[in-house]
Amino acid sequence: MATSEPTVDDLAPTLETNVAADEPPADAGEASEETVLHASDLTVYYGTEQALQPVTAALPEREVTAIIGPSGCGKSTFLRCINRMNDQIDGCRVEGKLRFYGKNIYDNDVDPVALRRKIGMVFQKPNPFPKSIYDNVAYGPRIQGCDDDLDATVESALRRAALWEEVSDRLDESALDLSGGQQQRLCIARAIAPDPGVILMDEPASALDPIATTKIEDLIEELAEEYTVVIVTHNMQQAARISDRTMVFLTGGELVEFDRTAKIFAEPEDQRVEDYITGKFG
C-alpha cells in the first residue's frame, strides 16, 4: 500500500532556522570534511507504516541537492528529517542517524528549535506572516535577540533573495500585498536572515508562473555559493537545470540512486531510475 505523507505546508514552523557544529566523527563512513549532512540508516515510520527505507547518504557543502521521485515515495519525509519537523507528527518514529557537521541531530541534547535556526525551510506555497515586509525578514533575528544593525540584516537578506530592488521603498507595507513570486522570495529572505547553513525547499516554485519560477531557479543557483541547498521537486527538468546532485526515491520510500545530476540523467545505474526519468512510470 502506498505511504500517505502529511503535507509540509500543514507543518510550517513559526521560525526558520544553528546548532554548534562538531567535527565529523572518525566513523562517518561516506562523509568527508566537506560533508554537511550525513544520513546513516535513517528510517521513518508513521505508526506501524514504514515511510522511509534506511537511507545512507552524504550531502556536500555549498551544493544544490535535488530530491525527485513519484508522489508518496518519501521525498518530503526525508526533507523533514533534516530539521526535525517530523517531531511535530503524532506517531512518527525516526531511527538511524542524521549528522549535521558531525553531530547527530537526533541526540537527546539537540534542541530542535535551535537546529531550525541553522537549517532554514521554504515551503511549497508562499507563507509570509501577516506583517510588514520588514518585520517578516526581521522575525528570525529578533527572536534570537540579534537586534544590532537590524536594518542592515534585513537589507542584506532581501538583496541575497533578489528582492531588495523591488521592495526597498515599501518595507512598511504588508507582505500579503506582494505577488506570489515576490512572496516566495520574501520567504527565502526570511529563511536566510538568521544566517543558516542549510536551506531546505519543498517544491518552492510549483505554485508559481514560469517567469517567477525562473527567478526562483536563478536565485537557488546563487544561494548555493553561500549555502547548502536541498530541494524537493516533481519537475525533473528543474532538477537537471539547477542541481549538482540528485537523490531518486521510488515508491516504498527507497533511495534507489544518489549521484551527480549529470550522471543520474545520462547514465543511471538502476533501470528503475531510467524508467522513471524517461516517463515509463511515475
14: burial class by Cβ within 10 Å (0-12, 13-18, 19+)? exposed
**How high is the mean pLDDT of the chain?**
87
Question: Which domains, ranges and CATH numbers included, belong to the chain?
Answer: 8-277 (3.40.50.300)
What's the pLDDT at 107?
95
**The model's pTM:** 0.86
Q: Is the pLDDT of residue 112 over 50?
A: yes
Residues sharing a CB contact under 8 Å with residue 54, sequence separation 6 or more, in sequence order: 41, 42, 43, 96
What's the pLDDT at 14?
33
Q: Is the pLDDT of residue 104 over 90?
A: yes
What's the pLDDT at 145?
78
- Mean of the pLDDT values across residues 173-202? 95
Do residues 187 and 127 lie in contact, with contact meaning Cβ atoms separated by under 8 Å? yes
Between 234 and 26, the more confident residue is 234
- Mean of the pLDDT values across residues 67-94? 94
* Confidence band, pLDDT 50/70/90 cuts, at residue 18: very low
Return the closest-CA partner of residue 142 out of 150, 133, 131. Answer: 150
Count of Cβ atoms closer than 10 Å to residue 253 Cβ: 25
Count of Cβ atoms closer than 10 Å to residue 61 Cβ: 16
Q: Is the pLDDT of residue 234 over 70?
A: yes
Return the SS3 of 31.
coil
**Which of 125-134, 138-147, 159-168, 187-196 has the least mean pLDDT?**
138-147
Q: What whole-number distance in Å separates Cα of residue 140 and Cα of residue 39? A: 27
Q: Is the pLDDT of residue 17 over 60?
A: no
Residue type, 103: K
23: burial class by Cβ within 10 Å (0-12, 13-18, 19+)? exposed
Between 251 and 153, the more confident residue is 153
Residues sharing a CB contact under 8 Å with residue 242, sequence separation 6 or more, in sequence order: 64, 66, 217, 220, 221, 231
Q: What whole-number distance in Å separates Cα of residue 101 and Cα of residue 116? A: 14
Cell (9 digits) for 155 = 537589507
Between 262 and 30, the more confident residue is 262
Do residues 94 and 106 lie in contact, with contact meaning Cβ atoms separated by under 8 Å? yes
Query: How far lies 228's CA from each of 34, 186, 223, 243, in Å?
Result: 11, 19, 8, 11
